[in-house]
Structure formats: structure tokens, C-alpha cells
Amino acid sequence: MSGILPLEMNGATKWFGNFKAVDGLDFTVPQGSIVGFLGPNGAGKSTSLRMALGVLSPDAGRTQLFGQSPNLETLKRVGFLPEERGLYKKMSPRQIITYFARLKGMSARDAKARADELLDSMGLGAFAKSRVTKLSKGMAQKVQILSALAHRPDFLILDEPFSGLDPVNQQALEDLILEEHKRGATIVFSTHVMEHAERLCQKIVMMARGRKVFDGTLDDAFAALGHAVKVGVSDGFDLGEALKGAGFESSLEDGSVWRVALSPKQDPQSALRAAIDAGAPITSFSPQESRLRDVFVSLVSAAEAQDLTDTLAADAAKAKEAA
Amino acid sequence: MHSTYLVARRDYLGYVSAWGFWLGLLFTPLILGIFMLAPTLAQNSQPTRYFTVIESGTEFTDALRREMDKSAARTARVMLDPVAAAQEEDSEKLKAFDTARDKGETSLDAFVSAGGDPSILPKQDFVEIAPPTRNIEQLAPFLLGQQLLETDEGPQPLFAAFIINDATNEIEYWSENLQAQALIGSARNAERDIKLDAALAGVNIDRKLLEDAASARRDVKQQRVRVGAQVEAASEVTMADRAPFIVSIMMAFSLWFLIFSVINYLLMGTIEERSNKIFDSLLTSVKLPNLLAGKLIAVLLLALTLMTFWGLFSTTAAFFFADSIPADAASNLNIVMSAAANLGLVIPALISFVLGYLMFGSLFLALGSLCDTIQEAQTLMTPLFVMLMAPLAMLAFAVQDADSALIQIMSWVPVFTPFLLILRIPTEPPLWEVLAQLGLMAVTTVIILYLATRVYRAGAVHGAGVSDVWAFFGKMVPGKKSSGA
């Protein structure tokens, strides 16, 4: 089995009527990795994951799970938490987890034992036999996550698993993901909250407007954006003008604090040295770490700007043609 | 197959664990029982109503008494032998009753003479009582209930009074109850008899002569040609000949009732899954055809549970009340039960039931997958309910004559076939026709299942809704541009 990718998408495209929801998506999920599938709302993340699972068929391109088109056998190795949360309201958490585990091929006895084990581990043992309607939203969400991983899948696909959870439960879910990863599971989760991805993922795939805008490691992501330093000066000193000659782009952020942008290869010390050389009355100096959020905003904004440009160009071409 | 079993098991247990199911299970026989016993219960629970007649002679009074006695005799004959009375045949019991009546016995005495149990006779609705006064103004407080009559049951109000007004030559009917028409109807019949007697007397014909002539009429005996193993049997039509028709009618109505009573579960279950957003989790665990099969099997099992429970309930009730069932009725029941065990009827009935259920069930399943709420489903349910009610209307026609041209033609329409084919089986249609209709029904069921699967996929996977269905039909109308998605 080694060497076979849990998920591979090649040029996967999906149309809904005249709307192209996903446009030629290519990416792979290496075995044993945790992959963050990032993008703003409406970027096409859920559609892509539903295509990955065979719930939706791509209109072009292909998706493969464990080297095969998605089928019931490969899907038995997958645990899926859909974006739209739902449980059978008249069933108990134990019944629901057992039901989905059995659908994935577990025996009745193993499924029940596994349900009890998972519910206890997540502090839901006391509610095992209560109706779902008696559970809080967070508890119900935990039950759904547990029913996705009850059959010990090789590959977990979690669509927006953190949404709707309070910080305590978000942390519990992060721990659970890491535990599943430690067990050997490959994990893909979609989110638009970057902090989770920063903490958990080795690989990031970003989408905007149905297209992939980034695919790489966290380091690659940070490298793509560059970084900056913040320099405080007194006496209304114009640091922007002073550093221009040294090739730095600066902008006044807050009264007397300037943000000096650095290229990925520039050292923060070089900016400090240039400021001293320019005679700046420095009152503070702090390097600014680039965050995934900045990378995300930058890439998504660029994609949206490009999209807008493309749309305007297309409209202009149409108008010209009509004229 | 395992996933189909798991889906069916979960759905079935979900349905039977609901209160609604148990209420339906227990209350349906109760409601049907009440429905059947209601007329008798209502009649027995109604207090005796007292009326009086004020006339200068006794002509109208006598005629009314005779008319009410005839009415009581009609009721007694029906209670004595319902089947023969309905068929206007002369059974031994009815002959004995009529002979006793001819000897001048009252209806009650004749009923007992003919072997009837007087306790089953409904009590008399109206009892004549001597007028408390012959003055209409003094009668008014009795009619208004302000003054009561002395009766065997103690003081009672006066329900009605007939006053034969010699001055105007009119029969006046006084009562505060304007709705009850039974007594006034008897009075009209009595008056008709008076006039008929007078007319006959005018031409010197005794009324008795007409009654004797009517009594001497020859009975029309229904016969049928016996063939095969039955060639030695008497040709006269018996209960055994009628039993298959009775059974087929019962089966056709039961089939319709079962489909109608369980099909809603499919709709509700699918709407629940759609509104609870469970489809994606399910569709990554089960193949769509297995999911649908599981759902259909669950509700089919539910229908079989209902049938089994009601069957056991009826058998147990029959066992405990066996002593109360008259020997004739028990014998007829046995004949009907034997007819119900006829494989020639049972096998097509079972096939019709399964195919009919799948046909209608898959339609409701598909409809449910398009709706988030019951309110949404309402807009599409009306045509489906019309489709379900239409076979019921056809059944009403078919009961009269299952071999009529209309029923023969309509039984080829697949949505009617499950019900009408069962009714036609006792008329012994050609085998090729039975097989062809079953085949056509099977093909239609497969087509509907295929289309329903597609609609279900559109609803479950793509989130298609009711508006999309209307938009789809809108596009089919030539020259009409649909505004829907």
C-alpha cells in the first residue's frame, strides 16, 4: 500500500449551471500527512472535498482515493465529517456512532465497544444513551466527528471541523486530530481559520474563486510573502524618505511607528543598520513574523483581484465585439 | 446487501420506536371497530322517543302502526340473515320468519320463532302513547318538554304528535326536532297505504290478494356452470362461490389502506434526513441504490408489522368471542378464510402489493428528498394524493362489476393495476392477461424506481428543491420560459 496517495485530484472541475465552482484543481495528499485545505467562504473547498469522496462527480478531470476512483471499498478507509452538520435527532450518540461504524464495515460488537470508548474519551460517556436533541451544539458536533473516525479510518477528511466549537472544544479537536495522526491516519481538513492550520499542518492547499492559489509547506507559504520590521522614531522623523535610498519600502503605521517591508531574503538587521546610518532617532525596533493569515489574505486578494481583472477584460472584449 | 440491511434496520427501529406508530397500530382497529359499530351503538344509545296521534277515528293510527311493524320486520329479517336479506333470497330462517308473521306474530316473536337471538335486535326508536290531551294548545307544553308524559320508563318528554285535521283534511306533524325524518317518513308511507287501500277497495280488490301474489313470487336462483373438479357440484351459487369476490375486495382495500397508511413514513423519514443534513455522511458509507432499498424495505416491514398485528388481533378477538358468533356467520367466515388461502389469489395479490408499494413508495421517497419541511412537501403532495385516491374511486366501480369493460381497460393502467387486478382475479381473466399486467406493472415500477433514484440524487446530493421540479416541468411547456433554477 505504501506509495499510494490517499488522495489525488487532477484537473478536477465542477460546474453548477453556469457557475464554475471548482476550476482544474490539482493536488495530492501524501500518506501520513496533515493537510490544511484553506480558502475563504465560497472558494470551492466543500465542493472539492465532495468530489474527492465521489459524492459529486467532476465534470472534467479526475479524483482518486488510494489510487482508485472513489468507491465503497476505498470509502471504507475514509472518515468524513461534512460541512453541513446533521445527526438523527431521535437516536442516541452511542447508536449513531455504532450505526456509522457498522456501515463502514465494523462488526456490531466492535462498533458498540468503539462508540463507548470514544464517548468516554471525549467526556460524553454520561450522554451515551441520551437523545441527540438533549445535547448541546458542541456535544452534537463532537458526536459527529466521533462517528467519522469510529472505524479507525486510514484517511480522515474533515470539512470545517472547528466551526461552531468554543475554544476549549477547538483545542480538544486539535488534540484529537493529532492523536489520529499519531495513530497513522492521513488527515485533510478545510478551514478559514489560519491558526489551526499553522499549528497542525505540514502542507497547505489554498483556494480562492474555485482555483488553487497555493500548494506547499508552511515554510513555502511564509517564504512566498516575505516579512517586515517595525521601527519607532521620535521628533516626527521621516523614516520612509530616509530609507528609500537604501532600497526599503516603508509606511507610517501609527504616529511614530514605521513598518519597513523586507524581501524574503533580507535580514531584519539590515533594516536596523540602514535606519541608524540614516540618523534616525530610534525609540523601538521589533521584527514582524509573517503569519499564515497574511499569506492567506495576500494570496486570496491577489486571486480575487486577478479574477476581477479577468472579468472586466472579458466584459470589455464582449462589449467591443458587440460594438 | 449488508448496508441495505443496516439502513432498513435503523429506519425500521426508528419508525417503531415512535409514539405515532403505536398510536396508529392500536387505534386503527379501534377506530374501524367504532366506525362499524357506530350505527348500532348510536341507535341503541338513543333514548326511546314517544309520539302520539290525535284523530277522530283510527284509520291513520292503524296504518301508521302497520307501517312501523313492517319497518321492524325489515330490520329483523336483516338481523336474522344479513346475506340472504341483502340478496333478496329466501333462506330457511327468512322463510320461518315470514311464515310466523303470516300467522300474525309480531316481528319480535317471529324473530325468536325463526331462531333469532332477541338481544341483538335494536330497540324500538319510536313508541306510540295515548294522547295526554286532545287540545293542541294544551299539548304544547308536552312538546316543549315543560310537561312530561307518564310512561313505563317513567316521566318522558313528548317527541312528536300527529294531528289529523278533519277541517282541512291535512295530517299535521308537530315536533320541536326538525331534523329527524324517520317518523315523518313512516307517516307518509302509512298515508300512501291508506290511499292505496281505498283505491283497491274502489275496484273491489282486496289488499291481501296483492300481498299473497307477492309472496307467491318465484325466487330467482343464481346458478353457475360447474366445470373441472366441480362438475358434480350443484349449480346453485353458494357462499363458497361468492367468497373469492369478497376476499378480493377485502384484499384490494387492504392493499390500498396499507400503502396509504405507511407511505407517509417514507416521506417524513426522507424529509428528516434532508433537513438534518445527513445525506453526505450516508452517501460516503452506502451506495445510493442500497440506501433507497433499505428505506423501502424498512417501510415495507412496517406495513407487514401492521398487517401481522392486526391479523393476530382479529384472530385473538375471534377466538375469544367465538361463542358470540352465530353458527351461520362462523360457517361463512370459514368459507371466506378458505378462499383467502387460495394461492391463485394470494400470489398475484402479494406481487401486486409489493410492486404497488414500490411504485408509490419510491415516488414519495423522491418527493421527500426535495423538501426541507412538510410545508414544502405539501405543494407536491396534492397530485400524489390524487394519484392514490384515484384507485380508490376505481375500486368503488370494480366492486359493482369487476368484469366490466371499464375495469378491464383501467386495470392496464399501471397505477391502478395493483388494486384492480386483485379484484379481477375471481372473474378468472385469461392467464396471459394476468401475467402481462403483472409484467407491465413490474416494468413501470422499475422505470419509476430509476427516475425516483435520479430525483433523490438531485435532492440529496445537489440540494435540488421543490422549485426545481416546477422549473423542470415549466421547461417542458412549449414556448414557456421557466423562471426557476
How far is residue B365 CA from its own chain's centroid?
A: 29
Which runs of consecutive H residues, i.e. helices, occur in B461-484?
Answer: 466-476
Lowest-confidence range among A33-42, A61-70, A139-148, A253-262?
A: A253-262
Helices (H) and strands (E) in chain B, counts: 19, 6
Total tally of structural domains belonging to chain B: 2
Would you state the pLDDT for residue A262? Answer: 81
Size of interface A-B (CB pairs under 8 A): 61
Cα–Cα distance, A173 to A290 (Å, whole number): 25
Structural domain boundaries enclosing A254: 227-288
Would the pLDDT of A116 be above 80? yes
In a domain? residue A139? yes
A261: β partners:
A228, A249
Would you state the pLDDT for residue A34? Answer: 92
Which among A78, A84, A89 has CB closest to B280?
A84
The pTM is what?
0.73
Which among B10, B17, B485 has CB closest to A99?
B10
B90 and B219 Cβ atoms separated by less than 8 Å: yes
Cα–Cα distance, B172 to B195 (Å, whole number): 17
A-chain residues within 8 Å CB-CB of B14?
Answer: 88, 90-91
In a domain? residue B11? yes
B32 and B176 fall within a common domain: no
A75 and A206 fall within a common domain: yes
Residue with cell 475563504: A40
Structural domain boundaries enclosing B265: 2-36+239-476
Which among B3, B273, B280 has CB closest to A103?
B3
B380 and B469 Cβ atoms separated by less than 8 Å: yes
Which among A55, A84, A91 has CB closest to B284?
A55
Radius of gyration for chain A, computed over Cα atoms and rounded to the nearest angstrom: 24
The CATH code of the domain that includes A120 is 3.40.50.300
Q: How confident is the model at residue A215 (pLDDT cuts 50, 70, 90)?
A: confident
Cα–Cα distance, B40 to B295 (Å, whole number): 42
Confirm or reject contact between A196 and chain B (CB < 8 A).
no
B423 and B398 Cβ atoms separated by less than 8 Å: yes
Confirm or reject contact between A55 and chain B (CB < 8 A).
yes
The tens place of each residue's pLDDT in chain B, 485 residues long, gives 788 999 999 989 988 888 888 888 888 878 877 887 777 677 667 778 999 999 988 899 999 999 998 888 988 888 888 777 777 777 788 888 988 988 888 888 898 888 888 877 877 889 999 999 888 788 899 999 899 988 888 898 999 999 998 888 899 999 998 888 889 999 999 999 999 999 999 998 888 888 888 878 777 777 878 777 776 777 777 778 888 888 888 888 888 888 877 888 888 888 877 777 788 888 888 888 888 899 889 988 988 898 888 888 888 887 787 777 767 777 777 888 887 788 888 888 888 888 888 888 888 888 888 887 777 777 777 777 787 788 788 777 777 788 888 888 888 988 888 888 888 888 888 889 889 999 998 999 899 888 888 888 888 777 777 677 667 666 666 655 444 33
How far is residue B292 CA from its own chain's centroid?
A: 34
Would you state the pLDDT for residue A226? Answer: 67
Cα–Cα distance, A204 to A198 (Å, whole number): 9
A-chain residues within 8 Å CB-CB of B462?
Answer: 16, 56
- Rounded to a whole number of angstroms, the distance from the CA of B474 to the nearest CA of chain A is 17
Long-range contacts of B303-308 (CB under 8 A, 24+ apart): B303/B258, B303/B259, B303/B261, B303/B262, B303/B357, B305/B16, B305/B25, B306/B24, B306/B25, B306/B28, B306/B258, B306/B261, B306/B262, B307/B254, B307/B258
**End-of-domain residue from the set B190, B210, B230:** B210
In a domain? residue B228? no
- Rounded to a whole number of angstroms, the distance from the CA of B446 to the nearest CA of chain A is 24
Can you tell me the mean pLDDT for A301-320?
A: 72
A149 and A166 fall within a common domain: yes
Confirm or reject contact between B92 and chain A (CB < 8 A).
no
In a domain? residue A100? yes
How far is residue B467 CA from its own chain's centroid?
A: 38
A-chain residues within 8 Å CB-CB of B277?
Answer: 82, 84-86
Computed over every residue of chain A, the mean pLDDT equals 85
Would you state the pLDDT for residue B478? Answer: 61
Would you state the pLDDT for residue B484? Answer: 38
Which among A17, A90, A103 has CB closest to B286?
A103
Q: How many CA atoms lie within 13 A of B356 on its CB side?
A: 31
Which among A55, A88, A91 has CB closest to B461?
A55
In a domain? residue B483? no
Would you state the pLDDT for residue A264? Answer: 67
Would you state the pLDDT for residue B383? Answer: 77
B-chain residues within 8 Å CB-CB of A88?
Answer: 10, 14, 272-273, 276, 278
CB contact under 8 A, A80 and B280: yes
Which residues, numbered 437 to 476 in chain B, qualify as contacts with chain A under a Cβ-Cβ cut-off of 8 Å? 461-462
B421 and B458 fall within a common domain: yes
Q: For B464, name the nearest residue in chain A, comparing CA atoms only.
A: A16
Q: For A88, name the nearest residue in chain B, comparing CA atoms only.
A: B276
Would you state the pLDDT for residue B257? Answer: 82
A286: β partners:
A230
Radius of gyration for chain B, computed over Cα atoms and rounded to the nearest angstrom: 31
Which residues, numbered 281 to 310 in chain B, qualify as contacts with chain A under a Cβ-Cβ cut-off of 8 Å? 281-287
Which among A17, A87, A103 has CB closest to B276?
A87
Lowest-confidence range among A12-26, A46-60, A101-115, A294-308?
A: A294-308
B226 and B233 Cβ atoms separated by less than 8 Å: yes
B133 and B7 fall within a common domain: no
A172 and A279 fall within a common domain: no
A69 and A47 Cβ atoms separated by less than 8 Å: no
Total tally of structural domains belonging to chain A: 2
Closest CA to A201 of A190, A213, A214, A212: A190
% of chain A residues with pLDDT over 70: 95
In a domain? residue B224? no
B-chain residues within 8 Å CB-CB of A14?
Answer: none
B385 and B416 fall within a common domain: yes
Q: For B280, name the nearest residue in chain A, comparing CA atoms only.
A: A82
B55 and B26 fall within a common domain: no
B-chain residues within 8 Å CB-CB of A86?
Answer: 273, 276-278, 281
Would you state the pLDDT for residue A138? Answer: 82
B207 and B196 Cβ atoms separated by less than 8 Å: yes
Q: For A100, name the nearest residue in chain B, comparing CA atoms only.
A: B285
CB contact under 8 A, A85 and B277: yes
B65 and B155 fall within a common domain: yes
Helices A137-149 and A167-183: crossing angle in degrees, nearest 10, is 10
In a domain? residue B226? no
What residues contact residue B366 under an 8 Å CB cut-off, 6+ apart? Answer: B451, B452, B453, B455, B456, B459
Torsion, Cα B91 B92 B95 B99, to 10 degrees, reads -170
